[in-house]
């Protein structure tokens, strides 16, 4: 019961489509207890899926003072994950002078493995099934992304070919208009010369 109340106070659940995120809102230890590993113990309890339930990722906004502590406890700093979750969590790391760290839980439940040897085989099988499921889901997503990329590339190729053809037609039209313009200028020059010649001839006759 104490663990349940403790974890409920420390973590805050955030959800985006198909992803359950647990965000560590606050974890602090009195200065006199900082070397007693109380903070590490609380964090390990919070990370335990048997207490907080299955989750996809756990996040924490770490500042300069506690950055190393979370890194030692298995959290990582990843640019891709940060781009993915920062907007969903509405976090501004630069403004807070902090870094968004992530903890990705293992496939197996560590707490269940400690219950007894009789559960080791069962837990290992569940771990393998979860791992294979994640691999299959990753392959499916990769295939979907590949198909989308191929479709996008083919569409871009067609668009480039269309624009190239349109540019060629426009260039041909411009050249044709330029030639017609030059021909009209030459004709206009001949007409002007002819008018001037007629005026001169008329003047000579008079």
Residue 141: half-sphere exposure toward Cβ, Cα within 13 Å: 6
pLDDT at 61: 86
Q: What is the distance of C-alpha 48 from the center of its chain?
A: 28
pLDDT at 75: 92
Which residue in 3, 9, 4, 36 sits closest to 24, CA to CA? 9
d(CA 53, CA 63): 27
pLDDT digit string, tens, across residues 138-172: 777 777 778 888 888 888 888 888 888 888 888 88
d(CA 92, CA 80): 16
Q: What is the distance of C-alpha 20 from the center of its chain?
A: 17
pLDDT confidence of 2, banded at 50, 70, 90? Answer: very low
Q: How many other C-beta atoms lie within 10 A of the C-beta of residue 101? A: 23
Token pair belonging to 180? 């017609």
Average pLDDT of the residues in 121-134? 64
Domain ranges for the chain: 2-105, 116-206
Average pLDDT of the residues in 24-52? 78
> Does 2-105 carry CATH code 1.20.970.10?
no
d(CA 121, CA 115): 12
Could you tell me which residues come within 8 angstroms of residue 55 by beta carbon, excluding any fewer than 6 positions away?
Answer: 20, 21, 22, 49, 105
């Amino acid at each position: 019961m104490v663990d349940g109340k403790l974890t409920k106070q420390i973590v805050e659940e955030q959800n985006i489509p198909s992803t359950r995120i647990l965000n560590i809102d606050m974890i602090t230890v009195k200065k006199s207890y900082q070397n007693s590993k109380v903070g590490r113990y609380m964090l390990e309890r919070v990370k335990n899926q048997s207490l907080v339930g299955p989750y996809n990722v756990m996040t924490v906004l770490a500042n300069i003072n506690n950055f190393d502590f979370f890194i030692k406890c298995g959290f990582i700093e990843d640019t891709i994950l940060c781009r993915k979750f920062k907007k969903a969590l509405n976090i501004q790391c630069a403004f807070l002078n902090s870094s968004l760290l992530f903890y990705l839980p293992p496939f197996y439940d560590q707490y269940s493995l400690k219950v007894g040897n009789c559960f080791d085989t069962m837990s290992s099988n569940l771990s393998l099934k979860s791992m294979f499921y994640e691999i299959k889901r990753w392959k499916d997503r990769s295939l979907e992304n590949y198909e989308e990329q191929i479709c996008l590339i083919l569409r871009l190729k067609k668009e480039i070919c269309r624009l190239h053809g349109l540019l060629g037609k426009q260039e041909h039209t411009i050249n044709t208009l330029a030639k017609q313009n030059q021909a009209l200028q030459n004709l206009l020059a001949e007409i002007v010369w002819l008018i001037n010649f007629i005026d001169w001839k008329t003047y000579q006759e008079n």
